[in-house]
Amino acid sequence: MKINLNDNANSRLASEPARTIDKQIIVALDMPTAIAALELCDRLPDVTFWKVGLELFIADGAAVLRELKARQKKIFLDLKLHDIPNTVGSACRVATKYGADFLTIHAAGGRAMMQAAQTEIAGSATQLLAISLLTSISASELNNDLQVALDVPEYVWQMISMAQASGLTGAVCSPHEVKDLRSRLRLEFGEEIGNNFCFVTPGVRPTGSDVGDQRRVMTPQAAIAAGANYLVIGRPITAAADPVAAWQAIINPV
Ligand SMILES: O=c1ccn([C@@H]2O[C@H](COP(=O)(O)O)[C@@H](O)[C@H]2O)c(=O)[nH]1
């Protein structure tokens, strides 16, 4: 059974065409070479959206991005930029040349940094996403190691509301936070912003699959029911003995 998101109580706009889960999964190409990444890409022709993160970008970024474009794939360029406003703004301006659909910056870089980034990508095809709190960070790590006094939902809200106020229209968070964040955005900034804000959620694990270093996780079906626009899934597919079977099992759950 392929999940039709328009059957979902969290479907956002009645005017949107029907979407199914396969179009909302972004597969993370966390690999050391372009050859390995493109081989997987070609084994999974039904995957329409791929994420290029730090490892692959540092190894072979330009080549991979060019090849994904040539295959007419959507691209999430997950660089998680975090530096002074001038540096991040300039990096974002240069990154637009890759024509990625999404590009990440850390919300913890602050308001001025996010504003500079948003100014520099304006008019390009790339949408900025703010990283709120990495899905590998647990509540106890946030409070005890990072010495942040807020709980996870409140910290994530602080990052998201600052990103929204800085002009960003999307963010990365765990699926656990999406439902409340959307409600709060609606309350504080209005229905339209709450409905249209784009939530991209890593920390997604099919039932029974290894959690690895992720700490705030949910199943794909639960993440969609919570109102995530896109799910990022890496190792449950890419490290599977049979990535094609793993992909099929996620999009056609029994
Ligand atoms: O908070 C975040 C932000 C980004 N990621 C990235 O998503 C994938 C998840 O891969 P899995 O193998 O499914 O764990 C990975 O590329 C991360 O860099 C994240 O996990 N959490």
pLDDT, residue 10, reads: 41
Q: What was the pLDDT predicted at 6?
A: 36
The parts of the chain modelled with pLDDT lower than 70 are: 1-18
* Residue 51 CA, closest ligand 1 atom number: 16
- Give the model's pLDDT for residue 18: 53
In this predicted structure, what is the pLDDT of residue 3? 45
> Torsion-angle region of residue 125: left (phi > 0), alpha (psi -120 to 50) or beta?
alpha
How far apart, in whole angstroms, are the C-alpha atoms of residue 183 and residue 128? 21
The tens digit of pLDDT for each residue in 69-114 reads 999 999 999 999 999 999 999 999 999 999 999 999 999 999 999 9
Report the candidate in 38, 7, 4, 8 with the shortest Cα–Cα distance to residue 22: 4
Nearest to 128 by CA among 76, 202, 181: 76
Query: Residue 15: its pLDDT value, please?
Result: 43
pLDDT of residue 113: 99
Per DSSP, 231 falls in state E
Cβ–Cβ contacts within 10 Å for residue 183, how many?
Answer: 12
CA of 135, closest atom in ligand 1: 1
User: Whose structure tokens read 């980034």?
Assistant: 117
**What separation in Å is there between the alpha carbon of 203 and the centre of ligand 1?**
6
Residue with tokens 């626009």: 229
| pLDDT reported for residue 99 | 97
Residue-level pLDDT at 19: 75
Nearest alpha carbon, ligand 1 atom 7: 202
Rounded to whole angstroms, the Cα distance separating 15 from 9 reads 15
Residue in 80, 101, 179, 180 annotated catalytic: 80
